[in-house]
Amino acid sequence: MALLILGLLLWSGAHLFKRLAPAQRDAMGDAGKGAVALGVIAGLILMILGYRWAEFVPVWTPPAFMVHLNNLIMLIAVFVFGMSATKGRLRGRMRHPQLTAVKIWAVAHLLVNGDLASILLFGGLLAWAVVEVILINKTSSWDRPQPGEAKRDVVLVIVTLVMFAVITGVHAWLGVWPFPG
């Protein structure tokens, strides 16, 4: 669990550094981008290894139907994440689509994972995303982009379905079948 917690702290600290210590981050110049990226990557690796190696400590047992709810919520999370790159009508509907998608993803995974490592991982990333949104909203303004063509939203739906299939394939490859049998 120590690696998992260290990874969460490193991930969060690297992401929040710009918002919490803007003068120090600015003083680092372009070299700071590399340092932050290294912190994010190291945090991600530590979270993955820490989660995979963590002892299974049951906290609660999720009901079986939550798997269906998780899959629906995950489809929404992938769609919302994709909104950050869309040039369609949905462009600009949401200020933080990627961070919102992380929050949706985390909640979906908390619904189906009742062990301590999962609660730490998904709960920790949920907390990070909430704090990140609050800090961004306090420290910067937002100019809502103009919406684009509706046909671009159709592309977003197609990309969402493809990415959802890829994500479920990766889960299956890792030994976690996301659909009940």
pTM of the model: 0.92
Full residue range of the structural domain in which residue 175 is found: 56-181
Is the Cβ–Cβ distance between 35 and 17 less than 8 Å?
A: no
Query: Can you give the pLDDT at residue 87?
Result: 87
Is the Cβ–Cβ distance between 108 and 74 less than 8 Å?
A: yes
Query: Can you give the pLDDT at residue 97?
Result: 95
Query: Can you give the pLDDT at residue 181?
Result: 67
Same domain, 37 and 67: no
Same domain, 40 and 69: no
Position of tokens 């907390």? Answer: 127
For 54-109, what is each residue's pLDDT tens digit?
999 999 999 999 999 999 999 999 999 999 998 888 888 899 999 999 999 999 99
% of the chain beyond a pLDDT of 70: 99
Query: SS3 for 173?
Result: helix
DSSP state of 83: T
Same domain, 170 and 93: yes
Same domain, 63 and 149: yes
Helix, strand, coil % (nearest 5) of the chain?
70, 0, 30
For 108-152, what is each residue's pLDDT tens digit?
999 999 999 999 999 999 999 999 999 999 999 998 888 888 899
Confidence of residue 175 (pLDDT cuts 50, 70, 90): confident
Distance CA(176)–CA(181), nearest Å, equals 12
Distance CA(144)–CA(58), nearest Å, equals 44
For 137-149, what is each residue's pLDDT tens digit?
999 999 888 888 8
Domain count, the chain: 2
Same domain, 65 and 128: yes
For 8-44, what is each residue's pLDDT tens digit?
999 999 999 999 998 898 899 888 899 999 999 999 9
